[in-house]
């Protein structure tokens, strides 16, 4: 709860920019119950409640503080407000239920027997003893799968705040210092840190996403929008990789690789099939999630990723009634075992081209059309897996398509379970102004991530 000049990362409204991590976690978790230790005037509480009422009719906010009103407080020019004044402020926001507990948290947290929380934000006393006590009691009030966020990770001062606990987390807990930090005169850089129970931690240190870029169909803006959305919603460490035919002026945090030299042999989207090859991928990306460059990501998308990242491979259902023989789409897939995809996809593809002669792609495409398939690389997947059980995801998992779901059904807003929206090419480019004018949710998405 600091006031001061932010010298590195700016502010979110009137709040230091590190507080955006709280909003990001709320959008990811969609908690029904949020608990805050250290309410002060209710600034952070108001932000959290406003986020919660956007998706929940009956959210619960529980705040703990001394609530001893005064005109000044440590690191706060605005002073401290009484419980009554804070309650009146928060009660006006909307339909959230507000519970404020007055007293020293060493006593009140221990005596609390109300609902447990999905997210707890600790921003109370800065002494090591108080921080340890608040965490110890708060950890018992957290629901499974929940998150504890702790303010006041002092980068230059291990003797106050939560740094001692984050650097060496208690047994059974995983910790992470979140970006951005804010720098204040006299205190240096300060961050918010995150604690989750080890059993809730991702199984992989880094989740890899892969997309493709070639020709003039899309622009560098598409890559940046995709990366910005991943950064906003993915609570785990991830890396975005781009296989591209030329260097891109995008964030240096995005890994760029030259698209394989023989891609001209696999015209159009067919060149993507080499990503199923063990020889082509094993040395640099043995496990990954492929995303089309023009899709839209929603807050629950990370749940879809973590649920499927351990599979040998996962395909996306096309759900296209025009080509009922082509049940799979190449716009999204997951690879967890390249040995399986090499055996089941890449090697059969190579054999189909060699036998009975070196078949050009255009002829293979024509043959697929004649057989009732859609003639794309994804049609090949449908041929290879006819009569076989394949792990797949689709609309029942929150994956929807503009031309295949929104247009025929006349939808103007995404369904409540949406995790991804697919656009399928230039005719439905989300960065096109006509698409943004047709769908308000597209316009809002671009305002946020463009």
pLDDT digits (tens, 9 = 90+) for 31-88: 999 999 999 999 999 999 999 998 888 899 999 999 987 655 444 445 567 899 999 9
Asked if pLDDT for residue 177 goes beyond 70, the answer is: yes
Asked if pLDDT for residue 205 goes beyond 50, the answer is: yes
- Exposed / middle / buried, residue 345 (Cβ in 10 Å: 0-12, 13-18, 19+): buried
pLDDT digits (tens, 9 = 90+) for 179-190: 888 999 988 999
Q: Residue 74 and residue 93: Cα distance in Å, rounded? A: 27
Nearest-CA neighbor of 106 among 78, 84, 82, 125? 125
pLDDT digits (tens, 9 = 90+) for 14-45: 578 899 999 989 988 889 999 999 999 999 99
Q: Which residues pair with 392 in a beta bridge?
A: 315
Nearest-CA neighbor of 223 among 191, 201, 245? 245
pLDDT of residue 240: 97
For the record, the structure tokens of 355 come out as 């036998």
Domains of the chain by start residue, with CATH: 11-200 (3.40.50.150), 207-449 (3.90.550.10)
pLDDT of residue 4: 31
Asked if pLDDT for residue 410 goes beyond 90, the answer is: yes
Lowest mean pLDDT among 35-49, 149-163, 356-370: 356-370
- DSSP letter at 319? -
Q: Residue 218 and residue 428: Cα distance in Å, rounded? A: 12
Q: Return the higher-pLDDT residue of 178 and 386.
A: 178
> Mean pLDDT score of the chain, rounded to an integer?
87
Q: Return the higher-pLDDT residue of 277 and 7.
A: 277
CA 59, 65, 71: angle at the middle one, nearest 5?
120
pLDDT of residue 37: 97
pLDDT of residue 315: 92
pLDDT of residue 421: 96
For the record, the structure tokens of 163 come out as 């740094």
Please give the distance of CA 74 from its chain centroid, rounded to a whole number: 35
Q: Residue 416 and residue 398: Cα distance in Å, rounded? A: 8
Q: Return the higher-pLDDT residue of 60 and 318.
A: 60
pLDDT of residue 428: 85
């Amino acid at each position: 709860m600091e006031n001061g000049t932010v010298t590195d990362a700016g502010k979110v409204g009137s709040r230091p920019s590190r507080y955006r991590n709280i909003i990001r976690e709320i959008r990811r978790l969609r908690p029904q119950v949020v608990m805050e230790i250290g309410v002060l005037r209710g600034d952070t509480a108001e932000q959290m409640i406003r986020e919660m009422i956007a998706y929940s009719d009956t959210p619960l906010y529980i705040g703990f503080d001394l609530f001893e009103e005064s005109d000044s407080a440590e690191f706060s020019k605005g002073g401290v407000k009484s419980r009554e004044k804070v309650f009146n402020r928060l009660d006006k926001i909307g339909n959230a239920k507000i519970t404020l507990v007055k007293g020293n948290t060493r006593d009140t947290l221990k005596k609390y027997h109300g609902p447990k929380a999905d997210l707890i934000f600790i921003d109370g006393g800065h002494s090591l003893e108080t921080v340890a006590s608040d965490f110890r009691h708060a950890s018992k009030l957290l629901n499974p799968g929940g998150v504890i966020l702790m303010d006041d990770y002092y980068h230059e001062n291990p003797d106050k705040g939560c740094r001692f606990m984050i650097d060496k987390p208690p047994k059974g807990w995983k910790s992470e210092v979140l970006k951005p930090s804010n720098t204040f005169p006299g205190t240096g850089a300060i961050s918010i840190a995150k604690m989750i129970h080890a059993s809730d931690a991702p199984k992989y240190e880094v989740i890899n996403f892969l997309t493709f870029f070639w020709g003039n169909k899309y622009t560098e803006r598409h890559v940046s929008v995709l990366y910005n959305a991943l950064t906003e919603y993915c609570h785990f460490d991830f890396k975005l990789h781009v296989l591209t035919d030329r260097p891109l002026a995008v964030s240096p945090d995005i890994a760029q690789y030259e698209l394989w030299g023989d891609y001209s042999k696999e015209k159009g989207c067919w060149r993507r099939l080499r990503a199923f090859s063990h020889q082509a991928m094993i040395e640099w990306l043995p496990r990954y999630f492929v995303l089309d460059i023009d899709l839209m990501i929603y807050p629950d998308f990370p749940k879809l990723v973590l649920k499927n990242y351990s599979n040998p491979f996962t395909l996306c259902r096309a759900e296209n009634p025009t080509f009922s023989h082509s049940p799979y789409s190449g716009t999204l897939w997951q690879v967890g075992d390249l040995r399986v995809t090499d055996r089941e996809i890449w090697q059969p593809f190579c054999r189909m081209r060699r036998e009975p002669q070196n078949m050009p792609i255009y002829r293979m495409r024509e043959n697929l059309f004649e057989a009732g398939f859609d003639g794309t690389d994804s049609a090949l997947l449908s041929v290879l897996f006819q009569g076989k059980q394949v792990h797949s995801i689709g609309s029942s998992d929150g994956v929807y398509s503009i031309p295949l779901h929104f247009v025929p059904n006349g939808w103007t807003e995404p369904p409540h379970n949406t995790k991804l929206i697919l656009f399928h090419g230039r005719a439905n480019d989300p960065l096109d102004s006509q698409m943004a004018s047709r769908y308000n949710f597209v316009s809002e998405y671009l305002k946020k991530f463009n």
